[in-house]
Structure 1
Amino acid sequence: MARGAFQQKVVVITGGCAGIGRALALRFAHSGARIAILDVQDEPLLAFQQQLMDKLNAEVLAIRCDVADPQACEQAICQVLEHFGGIDLLINNAGITHRSTFAETDLAVFQRIMAVNYFGALHCTQQALPSIVQRQGQIIVLSSLSGFAPLLYRSAYNASKHALHGLFETLRMEVRPQGVNVMLVTPGFTATDIRKNALVGDGSISQQMINTPFKVSSPSDVADDIYRGAVKRKRLMVLSNVDWRARLLARWFPGLFERWMLPRLSGVKPQR
């Protein structure tokens, strides 16, 4: 892959060991970027760092970080700044989900989903923003089609994605005059482990498989699209496999959306 816009740029990716985050690290490393990977996994984190260094000759910093912990985020971003001298692009990718009805979902599950999906992005962005402003860089946030078309049995997840849109659409307007771009990305069904590791109402890991009625995208294809969007400094990328139908029906024909598309999108019945 040709090197270009991100040659020697510093790219920070949360949740960078698996799924879309891993594919993004590979894609930006191919482009010549210097990569910082934040993840909660220890051994996979170090193994992936070594892979990027050995196979792509990439400059990579691997940091164990639970983005739900504000102090851990502060320390991680400080390490990045000390090592690389600045940050050009922050990709808030870390996220978790659940499958359970609102009535059967413990408060702790709501708190955990918001802590990772929403506050994790907030913590990292607060710490990285001064350097990104100085370099007139970018912030990318991985949202979901549920940011505009809610899914059944995902009330906490849906809420976290709506919160991301509220936060980062406001931030975009505030930092645009300073030369900073904020891009929200809404992938559709993608072949990652997030569905396999979904929480249920009591906070345990679901063992129930989800049936996906739509074509599933590969993480590498999603990463390629995000890379192209970053090069063009787009403000929104809707990559959903059901993008225009879900958006159109949810906004203009909510009754039809709830009867026809919502059950198909949601895929499974909940379990506690």
Structure 2
Amino acid sequence: MNVELTDERILVLADRFSMEQAEGRAWTKRVEAFGTLARMSGFLKQPKDDEFEVAYRERRLQPFWRLSARTVLGYERRRDYMVAVGPMVQSVAIGGETLTASGGQIKVSGLETCREENRRDLYVDGLSKAPQPTLADYLKHPASEADAETLAAATRDGVVVVPSEAKASTLVRDLIAASITRIEADTVLEETVRVEAIELYYRPVYAFRYRWQGKEAVVEFDAVTGEPRAGGATFERYLGKMLDPAFLLDVGAEAANMFIPGANLAKMAIVKGIELSKR
């Protein structure tokens, strides 16, 4: 089996809204953010705007992964085909071979040459490590390629860059394992898994922590989709912290030690940094 890995990429999705626009939309969710207590108070007396205080504002880049693999299988196998013939037929001569009919059928043997191509896409939230197919919707929006220096510059500008809890090497290993399928073959001609995308996306999120009656609650605003959401979290602990430049480059270091369930590593050739004409 050949496993081909493309190079990893970092991409940052573009903001569609400013901090001021985000704060204006988040403000509409402030009462909802405080839950039952605020709604009960609002039933008796609508809270006044000046009762709420913005205790903290944050713009952050939040990670998710996109991986894509294409599996190509080529193989041969011998198969028997039962062909119906008329009830009066006793035998059929095909290619110099005489086949005896039985029960209104003859058995024809042949060599099948087969080829299968399958694609598997994986979208994983960088914080929860959980697959989240809806993250694919973000790819409809423009993004620019970045590197460790780009992210470092963002942190110097006050942006919170949240590191991914999910590791690229683990995700690649799981993707390859899921791409390996059992086949019935006498001879395998080709068995290749091409990991064509290993991409760490960062999406911009604004978060506002409000204070009301001694309590605090957070409203998040998605700077790509424009959707405010009551709840969520802030990430002050990463404010001003630089990311390790090697945080993304763990696939190459660990590729040789990948354990793929059901695959014989002695027969697995891993190639890093393949050139792909299409990304």
Task: Please give the TM-score of this superposition, normalised by the length of structure 2.
Answer: 0.25
The structure, 1 or 2, with the larger RCO (C-alpha pairs under 8 Å, 6+ apart) is: 2
Greater strand percent: which structure?
A: 2
Greater radius of gyration (CA) = 2
Task: Please give the TM-score of this superposition, normalised by the length of structure 1.
Answer: 0.26
